[in-house]
Structure 1
């Protein structure tokens, strides 16, 4: 069983070139899925950082980093990292179950909110920033290179929005036994459209209604699908992930001097670099280059030894704890998983409809109600109140996006951003 979910970054310590495409394929397959009994859960929650006195202006990078540097260790052991638009991410270590993972992340979020409030800042966990234009505030070379690559391949606007204006809840789950891998990966994808619709919290961007309930998912859909599209489930998932990774274009080449990065301004599949057909940075790639390339691929479900579920909009409490509980229950509980697979079958692959229409689509609404009923019946006692609240929201045909829209229409997009920064009200135990 995995004892920790690995870092999204890797070092340049292995300088040996890969021995061609078969060697690269084998390297990806070996790391794709590791046997691990379902149970442990890791959560990652992103939120937009907001100046409560001037919400229309992004917080300067030096101010953000100064605050984070002064934080110290958090009680639940979450790491605090920063995204290119100034979004703050809390990444929790794996916990024995989803109840413990939620409790730890909640405690860390409370400490972080308190520290930020002392400097007049708040956190808005929404799938997309409803107010501010996309703008990179991080000076990091990775993000400069990503920006240049997206511009070169014709994804300037979507790339900028993805990097600086979106936020998600990620749920990390063990891969299961090898005999389960194909079924678990397939179910994680089948759940995608339904949970995109259920979690949708991003109906605005740059102060305007977008006519999408999950603008975050719409932005990801506008990016290069060779990098961001789902696996298709046509074979062994580790083999398919390796094929996907080697066909995906290289985004950047890391330089050995002081962590620099050189953008790749054309479409060069990693396989062409591995084969020697194209040299990037004047050299062949190493295993470390391939590991880093994997961190620049953003499918809805990424295989990192475990299952990284990436398609949920960030949402305020109690919705993100409920979403974490529902996603975990529907994938890890065998009874709930069977019910969810049947409920999702009629809407499999409808990613775009889920992002645009959400629960207003009758088939997606029916599938969501079936999934929430299955999750509620098998959900952990410690999160039952949150799952019940989400089930009631879904039953009414609503998602967190409706609250955002209601606030924006009555008081403006700045009010919607600020409302998401409010401290959560603890739910009363109903079990």
Structure 2
């Protein structure tokens, strides 16, 4: 989860909120790729989760990374909770259960993303190995109960933890026991944003299926292929979901902002203090609902930005578009996720073809895919076939878009000087075989691991 934003410009009218999105529009030559990925830290000797304190804890890991990278510490009172590149690159942050996240820098090509990802994983191993800490990239914590999962000392998470059980049954699982890989992509105009949001929302269940890697929970199969995705269906209906209004005529920045205005807030931050604001929507905040409780606190643009970051639809709009439907996975899949979406969205002709692919899908069909993909993934029945048929088309379109970009460049550890289509290889294997990583894990669990979920750490740790 991103750092809190500080922007003290007061909000005087809603037009400022709509205009905030408009300022995210960029010419195509400035479009970038920002990849975020989370992973579970574990002690390699006994596969226990990594607590914050202690000689082999998260604090020691962050302090080691600070010394290695020279990045600036992000503090919550006296606790280091992340690191930020002082020259405007990426950041490292902690999710509630200690999931270690890299928020990557905005980069020009997937080759740059590859180098960033490979470097980061090498760096965390350099610091983690002497501490006996390893890292696992899957969508859900495979063996630790929620009670066994550590809690990170971030003030905002205390407010969220108290609120989640009030609005859903699995919000705490989302916070403490899931990991994802996401990509943030740019838009050129309101119309371009509209097209990209519609394609992204409609095809998000395809990404969920392709990247499914969370079939285990509490040491055994959980009945899903992407438990992480299922968790989001029972987290907080007010701030999650498929945004059906994005397919209505006239959808644009104003419509998204109006939706966001009516979602309950999490908090207001002033100085180093977090104030619980879960009982009011942002619209009510603008109308003075917190005036008596927080004298002198007026709505600021920073509050709006922080509120937008507390919304969790399948595709999130900020000054860029966030793809949120995929489980974390092995390192090549961390590259396949941005490759998939860059190929679909960054070539105008391919974007038009993708729009045509989903144009006649109804809101009920889109929701059905969202609801079914976590359990059945690519085997989800759809229009006389399965979601695998749609995935084949989507991956082929993505390859076409990446080939047209034709960005060349090498990336260690693979010796190559090819275009970005090379990063689709894991997805092309999946659509060729029809088997997701989650299904492969379950097959290994039954046949090779003798029902021992601990083997997932040996097989899939970075």
Q: TM (normalized to structure 1)?
A: 0.86
C-alpha spacing 1:344/1:316, structure 2 compared with 1 (3 Å): farther
Is the 2:191–2:252 Cα contact (8 Å) retained in structure 1?
Answer: no
Contiguous gaps of at least 5 residues in structure 1: 1-5, 424-431
Q: Which residue of 1 aligns with 2:26?
A: 36
Is the 1:29–1:242 Cα contact (8 Å) retained in structure 2?
Answer: yes
**In 2, distance between residues paired with 1:417 and 1:99?**
28
Q: Does 1:420 align with 2:436?
A: no
Counterpart among 4, 12, 16 of residue 9 in structure 1? 4
Q: Does 1:162 align with 2:162?
A: no
Q: Does 1:353 align with 2:372?
A: yes
Q: Which residue of 2 aligns with 1:427?
A: none
Is the 1:28–1:241 Cα contact (8 Å) retained in structure 2?
Answer: no
Counterpart among 169, 175, 183 of residue 187 in structure 2? 175
C-alpha spacing 1:343/1:60, structure 2 compared with 1 (3 Å): same
**In 1, distance between residues paired with 2:70 and 2:133?**
18
Q: How big is the shift at 1:278?
A: 5.4
Q: Which residue of 2 aligns with 1:372?
A: 395
Superposition pairs of residues 15-414 of structure 1, within 5 angstroms: 16=10, 18-19=11-12, 23=13, 25-33=14-22, 34-38=24-28, 39-55=31-47, 57-62=48-53, 63-71=57-65, 72-73=68-69, 78-134=90-146, 135-151=149-165, 153-155=166-168, 157-232=169-244, 233=246, 234=248, 235-256=250-271, 259-264=272-277, 266=279, 268-277=280-289, 279=291, 281-283=293-295, 285-287=298-300, 288-345=302-359, 346=361, 348-349=366-367, 350-362=369-381, 363-379=386-402, 381-409=418-446, 410-411=448-449, 412-414=452-454
Is the 1:149–1:263 Cα contact (8 Å) retained in structure 2?
Answer: no
**In 1, distance between residues paired with 2:207 and 2:39?**
19
Count of aligned pairs: 405
Q: Residue 329 of structure 2: SS of its match in structure 1?
A: coil
Is the 2:64–2:127 Cα contact (8 Å) retained in structure 1?
Answer: no
Larger deviation, residues 285-294 vs 213-222: 285-294
**In 1, distance between residues paired with 2:441 and 2:291?**
48
Q: Any idea what the Cα deviations from partners look like across 1:110-154, whole Å, max 9, x if unmatched?
A: 222232122211111111111112234212110011101113x24
Q: Any idea what the Cα deviations from partners look like across 1:262-289, whole Å, max 9, x if unmatched?
A: 33454x2221222124557434641132
Q: Any idea what the Cα deviations from partners look like across 1:286-344, whole Å, max 9, x if unmatched?
A: 11323222221112222221111122211112222122211110111233323333444
Higher strand proportion: 2
Is the 1:124–1:418 Cα contact (8 Å) retained in structure 2?
Answer: no
C-alpha spacing 1:27/1:208, structure 2 compared with 1 (3 Å): farther
C-alpha spacing 1:52/1:183, structure 2 compared with 1 (3 Å): same
Is the 2:167–2:235 Cα contact (8 Å) retained in structure 1?
Answer: no
Q: Any idea what the Cα deviations from partners look like across 1:336-391, whole Å, max 9, x if unmatched?
A: 32333344455534211112210112431110011112223343534434413321
Contiguous gaps of at least 5 residues in structure 2: 72-84, 404-417
C-alpha spacing 1:118/1:136, structure 2 compared with 1 (3 Å): closer
Is the 1:136–1:160 Cα contact (8 Å) retained in structure 2?
Answer: no
